[in-house]
Structures are given as structure tokens and as C-alpha cells.
Amino acid sequence: MNINTNYENLEQSYLFSTIAKKVNEFSNAHPDAKIIRLGIGDVTLPLCNAVIKAMHKAVDEMGNQSTFRGYGPEQGYDFLRTAVQGYYKTHNVDLDLDEIFISDGAKSDLGNILDLFAKENTVLVPDPVYPVYVDTNVMAGRTVIFANANKENGFLPMPDESAKADIIYICSPNNPTGAVYNKEQLKKWVDYALALNAVILYDAAYECFISDSSLPRSIFEIEGAKNCAIEFCSLSKTAGFTGTRCGYTIVPKNLEKLNKMWLRRQTTKFNGVPYIVQRAAEAVFTEEGQKEIKENIGYYKENAKIISDTLEKCGIWHVGGKHSPYIWLKCPDNMSSWEFFDKLLNDLQIVGTPGAGFGKNGEGFFRLTSFGSKENTVEAMKRFENAYLK
């Protein structure tokens, strides 16, 4: 028996596991401290009413012989794929049903899609970046190169013609920085991928936070993207499904071989998302569901504004927040990312995410999220203002 030695090339601990360990140690030492968590990107508002009603109805169906469902189609029930298809139509994107694959979340599919590609492929990811993009490729033994995202380019790197890649990761709005590509910028990435015969893996998990109609919510709004891109999205942040688990991946039929391979992969390795969850997801795309989830997204965006306004008042450089649940800030007083993490935890009892955990270019930066309660967000920013208002 031989193990996959590529795992030895990973960091010893996943970023958020390290954070949890530090917070637990502090909490055990200071049991009376009121810790406010603005670190991990988990939602706090409950599922909306339309979703709950649909889940209850589906549960009742599962308890009745005539409406009971067993194994479903691995690529998802047509009722949900049709709902996703209609949602994309509102963004002027036409999809066929057999381009839509329902899954248990974008994170799973972003890792699983790599089954389709040989390990000899070179992978290009932005730095800083969501750790899953890098770690899943390190696990497979692929070469990973980086696109340089920094303060100077607004954390929106553009293609470097001298860099040759086969698989390109793009996340917009970005995690961790909250930066968003416009259509002209994405067109350059699409043209770059087409010139290299490369594939773009496009993470649209936060598209629902974009409020400017001129900004693309899908890469398929860009001419040529169906010839080179696969898009991943989920309902985790859109509708609070972080614990309910449902997402979707779009593999265009223009990528004929990959579309067929992904169907084959899913029918072999995946038994589909539960019927109850798919009925809940379908309700997200109804008129009632869209109204209710937009109210929840608005709640988080108001939290982001509270954070951004406080940072502005304190004179701390930051991006994100406007079209994203994430605010990416420059650590004050030239502190390192982990130094600032420790200071916030020990002095203010606020938990954030060190930028260094997202890559070399994240050093000296820090991520806060707007997914907490409004009460906690306001309290955290009061503590922040007291500490950093000059």
C-alpha cells in the first residue's frame, strides 16, 4: 500500500481549523469574554419562509407511498434545473438543461471537477485566493502558478501573456478580497484562455451580492465563454444553504467532451442531492423566494456598509463590501496578518481571518465578513473604532 505523498506538500492545518483552535484556546482561558466572530464566511440568518414551506411539503411527500422518491437523477431533477435555467435567463444567459448539474455545493464540485483533468496540467490561481483552489490541485500533484493580485491592481490581476496555463481559476466577486471583475476585464481572461486552449473554472458563489447591472454575474455573459469556461455556484450564501447543501455547476455543451465526462463522473461517483433539498432549492427561484432572499442579502450588505464606514472613519485602507460579503483591509500599524489576528482576539475579542492564510500576497491584510448579526457587527465596529479612531 502506497499513500498519496502529495498530501505532504499541504499546509499542516486548513486555515479555518487553525483559527478555530486559537479561538477555542482563548475562549477556554477567558470563559466570560464575549467573542464576536467576523471570520469564517458562514451565514447567520435562517432559511427564508418560501424554502421552509417547500421543505415541509417535500417531507410530507416522502411520507406518502404515492409521492415517495427513491434514487433521483444524479445530475438533478428537471424541476430544479429548469428553475436554474430560468434564473440564468434573467441575466441574458441561455442554457440547455443538460448543461446544468445540481450538486451539494460549489466547494465539492470545485474539487471534484479535477477528476476530468490530467495531473500534468498547469494551474493558474490568483494570489491571494480561496485555499481550496490550491489545496485540491496540490493533492493531485499539479503544478500551480499564481496571478499577482495586489493593492496596486485593486486585487484584480489580469492575464500575463508570458504565463502559460491549462486550468485557470477565477472568483468574482472574489473571496477573500471582495473585488469584482467588469465585463471588459473578464473578456480579456476569456480571450487569454481561448488562445491557450485552456479552461476557466469560474466560481460565482457570491454573484447575488452584485447590485450594479453593468457588472457580470455569470462568466457566460461574456462572448466566447461557453467555449472555455465551467461555472460553479451554490445557494450557501445566496439563500443560507451552508448547512442545507445545494449548488449547481454549468458545463457548456460547447465543451462537448468535458460535458459528457462530467455526466459520466457524476453518475459513477455521486448519487445526487436529496429530493427534499432540491425542492427547497427550487423555492429559492420563485417570486416569493427571490423577494425573501434579497431581503436577507440586503441585511448582510448593510452589515458590510457598517464595517466599511468604520474602516473609512479610522483611515484604514480596504476594498470589498459593496458587491461582496467580504471586506479586505490593510492591517494597521504595519502588523502582519497573524499579529493583527491575535491583537483583535486578545484586545477586542473580535475574530477575523488573516490574509496570509490566502496566499503570499495576503500577508499584511485581513478579511472581515458581514455574515454576523447586525447587533454583533455594530458592537464589533464600536470596539474597532474605540481602538483605531485617530
Residue 307 in this model has a pLDDT that exceeds 90: yes
Identify the pLDDT of residue 352.
96
Residue 16 makes CB contacts below 8 A (sequence gap 6+) with 39, 40, 353
pLDDT category at 389 given cuts 50, 70, 90 is confident
33: region left, alpha or beta (phi > 0 left; psi from -120 to 50 alpha): beta
Interval 51-78 mean pLDDT: 97
Residue 12 in this model has a pLDDT that exceeds 90: no
pLDDT category at 16 given cuts 50, 70, 90 is confident
Interval 92-99 mean pLDDT: 98
Identify the pLDDT of residue 40.
79
Identify the pLDDT of residue 92.
96
Please tell me the pTM assigned to this model.
Answer: 0.96
In the sheet that holds 100-103, the strands lie side by side as 100-103, 247-250, 229-234, 199-203, 167-171, 122-127, 143-148
Interval 285-304 mean pLDDT: 98
Identify the pLDDT of residue 18.
86
Q: E strands, 152-296, where? A: 167-171, 199-203, 229-234, 247-250
Interval 196-216 mean pLDDT: 97
The percentage of residues in the chain with a pLDDT greater than 90, rounded to a whole number, is: 95
Which is more confident, 14 or 171? Answer: 171
pLDDT category at 17 given cuts 50, 70, 90 is confident
Residue 368 in this model has a pLDDT that exceeds 90: yes
Q: What is the DSSP letter of 166?
A: S
Identify the pLDDT of residue 231.
98
Q: What is the DSSP letter of 161?
A: T
Domains of the chain: 5-47+289-388 (3.90.1150.10), 49-286 (3.40.640.10)
Interval 68-91 mean pLDDT: 97
Residue pair 176/207 in contact by the 8 Å Cβ criterion: no
Half-sphere exposure of 349 (CA within 13 A, CB side): 14
Residue 112 in this model has a pLDDT that exceeds 90: yes
**142-178: per-residue pLDDT in tens?**
999 999 999 999 999 999 999 999 999 999 999 999 9
Residue 119 makes CB contacts below 8 A (sequence gap 6+) with 140, 141, 142
**179-194: per-residue pLDDT in tens?**
999 999 999 999 999 9
Looking at 7-105, list the stretches that DSSP marks H as alpha helix, in order from N- to C-terminal side: 15-29, 49-62, 78-89
**Which of 6-15, 45-54, 57-66 bottoms out in mean pLDDT, i.e. has the lowest?**
6-15
Interval 292-304 mean pLDDT: 97
pLDDT category at 11 given cuts 50, 70, 90 is confident
Task: Pick the closest to residue 225 from 92, 320, 125 (CA basis).
Answer: 92
Identify the pLDDT of residue 15.
82
121 SS3 class: coil
359: region left, alpha or beta (phi > 0 left; psi from -120 to 50 alpha): left
86 SS3 class: helix
Average pLDDT of the chain to the nearest whole number: 96
